[in-house]
Structure 1
């Protein structure tokens, strides 16, 4: 692998300071780690990055966090803080040739006694083979790798790469951090043409993304607005940031998990919130309804048999009405399931019965409950002695239905909630008769 990147290529210089006509977000980039906003848990004196900088020695790391939280700024300032060369590549625009160049330059710099910090933006977009290409250079100390990603590294990065790098999590910027950014913008450009209420609305619209907030502020400055805008005027002038939601990535799984847990916890308000988060972000409504339907069997079951019926009815209603009218039926199913009594007895019974079936293999049922469609089968005893329950007293024979080599099992254990309380009474009644007979 090392020979692949042995080409001799020119040195890559550190990034220049932003021009005066650069975008506001670039002009406000922090010039030292203590100017990073909202990530004190990492960059502060007790944080992982703060401690590494104080020691003057960096380990390879992956910075994982939402867009606009400072990943690129941290990487650039880390190199400055410990006196390392800074080289940046983007997995979106870079290929093998760019990596060969970066590694070759790092090898030459190392021979000259200079260490290299290689920043890889959107590192999750490199495929597995490309990610493996970093390993020998990280192991030899040719580079200190700093990757940035908005996706969960445990899903998107090779285990071998993760074992050689710390994963550091950046937080979504809260309202206080976003206010600090706006204050810095106003120091540079002057007061924003907003009422206090509109200012709050602008901060809320950023959804934790500092870069988006500064871009919106720059739009306001560029418009030459004379009278302060209120929330309604601001909303008409600017577009609200679309919520971060990738249907095939972690945001998708986080929200469906939150919906499921809220339903299980009988919190209809929270369940409705996560349902709204998914549907307003463009999730396929029938996918969400499929998950709620699964919940109706897994977490409610016979505690309220109507829960499953509500979900199936919601499916038919949605398919009949379409979107958005049909989404109300999904809301109804969601609220019904959230407020229904809960039991996972059917779910646990399924798991136990499936496990038992795998372990017992092909045990024959008792001969008396087997059909005998041929004379031979009748001659060897199939169906002999079968007790027809409808002919027995109370419509119950109390016969044994388990294989002779197997003890009767109790897979299904109803709980004392909802309709399962009645199911439990029925089961106890049949068991009492079974013991008597």
Structure 2
């Protein structure tokens, strides 16, 4: 049976049926949008290409920001053979084959750029397997990862590669992608201007997702351009990138904690919403809020801890989504409460003393004496019962004889703690008298 297409025609036919994102893939580094800090003349990649020499590198960035595209264009720009593998689908045998072929091509004067997608998926031993081939120049390694390399990649591998950070695509870059898509298709997107802006916002910085959404819109015959409400009904919003055991999780809880500490109620509520709408476990958030109530509010407002525990009980009782209002209330209470870490500092100092002083006995006057022998040897002797004094305060010594009295807790002059400070100062004055 004869071929339906000649080779050139077959290639053109495949190109026409390829996804829009593939058909729009840049043909040169200067066409890559949103990463000019790397690909521009003064960027790390731009300088390497200008010099005609590449070092091994790790491209770290969110999905849909151009990591694979940049790797392909780098190989073309400096005349390297391009080989791509994915850590999701490849094993040790695939790596050995890639290295053997790279070594053979090197003997013939053709060096290899080995692109490893999702490189963080390789285990530590597999990552170590790259080292000799990177060191002797058999391959120039370009790894791509969406995870923080400092957590996911071996230190030995990181020491042999530059980590280059790709930014999530901003509205300008995403808008440029849509304009290119419209030029390629020869027709505008069937959406109103507000819907176009909503579409860009919903992509959450992912260019591939945006182009896939555009392709979906062009695949149907719409009687009139969609407004934002119509667009929302027609397309699904992209789910925010958030892995509960990875960096996004720690970044957001850190942002929440620091916003609370900085008394920015609006920002704290935003980060709380980011976590809960992305699927974070509400009880995890509540545990962090309870900790914050003791660590950063403390006795400046003792009710902060009560509010957080009440929010936990409310969530246990109501569940989601009704119980999330109680979490938001606790978050706002913490953000607007007076702040003090005096209890936190005091706890750390007291624990340090306890470790250093070992098994020092308390003074005998405050020891319990349940037996005659203990009384005979002085346990509890001359104990001053504070309630029998006029001020309800005896001023007795409660420290081990081998240890001078310490000051761990130093209350601030904020909130309820100001009254605590006044009380402590009054008792100290009575001691001196």
Same fold (TM over 0.5): yes
SS in structure 2 of the partner of residue 45 of structure 1: coil
* Paired position in structure 2 for 1:97: 93
SS in structure 1 of the partner of residue 16 of structure 2: coil
* CA RMSD between the two structures: 1.1
In structure 2, distance between residues paired with 1:375 and 1:74: 85
Question: Is 2:175 the counterpart of 1:185?
Answer: no
Unpaired runs of 5+ in structure 2? 1-10
* Paired position in structure 2 for 1:283: 280
* Paired position in structure 2 for 1:263: 260
Question: Is 2:148 the counterpart of 1:147?
Answer: no
Question: When the two structures are superposed, what TM-score results if normalisation uses the length of structure 2?
Answer: 0.96
SS in structure 1 of the partner of residue 370 of structure 2: coil
- Deviation of the 1:383 alpha carbon: 1.4
- Deviation of the 1:374 alpha carbon: 2.3
Q: Specify which of 149, 172, 175 is matched with residue 176 of structure 1.
A: 172
In structure 2, distance between residues paired with 1:120 and 1:91: 7
Question: Is 2:66 the counterpart of 1:79?
Answer: no
In structure 1, distance between residues paired with 2:27 and 2:131: 31
* Paired position in structure 2 for 1:12: none
In structure 2, distance between residues paired with 1:146 and 1:417: 54
Moved more, 372-381 or 331-340: 372-381
Question: Is 2:58 the counterpart of 1:62?
Answer: yes
In structure 1, distance between residues paired with 2:23 and 2:273: 37
Question: When the two structures are superposed, what TM-score results if normalisation uses the length of structure 1?
Answer: 0.95
Question: Is 2:399 the counterpart of 1:394?
Answer: no
Q: Specify which of 306, 309, 313 is matched with residue 309 of structure 1.
A: 306
1:170-225 per-residue CA deviation (whole Å, 9 max, x = no partner) reads 00100000000000000101211111111111111101000000000000111122
The within-5 A match list for 1:355-434 is 355-434=352-431
* Paired position in structure 1 for 2:271: 274
* Paired position in structure 1 for 2:8: none
The within-5 A match list for 1:311-330 is 311-330=308-327
SS in structure 1 of the partner of residue 304 of structure 2: helix
In structure 1, distance between residues paired with 2:361 and 2:106: 73
Unpaired runs of 5+ in structure 1? 1-15
The within-5 A match list for 1:188-203 is 188-189=184-185, 190-203=187-200
SS in structure 2 of the partner of residue 417 of structure 1: coil
SS in structure 2 of the partner of residue 395 of structure 1: coil
- Deviation of the 1:369 alpha carbon: 1.0
* Paired position in structure 2 for 1:8: none
In structure 2, distance between residues paired with 1:353 and 1:144: 54
- Deviation of the 1:54 alpha carbon: 0.9
In structure 2, distance between residues paired with 1:113 and 1:364: 78
In structure 1, distance between residues paired with 2:327 and 2:431: 43
In structure 2, distance between residues paired with 1:145 and 1:112: 19
Question: Is 2:3 the counterpart of 1:24?
Answer: no
1:339-393 per-residue CA deviation (whole Å, 9 max, x = no partner) reads 0000000011111111111111111111111112222222222212211111223
Q: Specify which of 159, 162, 166 is matched with residue 162 of structure 2.
A: 166
The number of aligned residues is 421
In structure 1, distance between residues paired with 2:52 and 2:191: 44
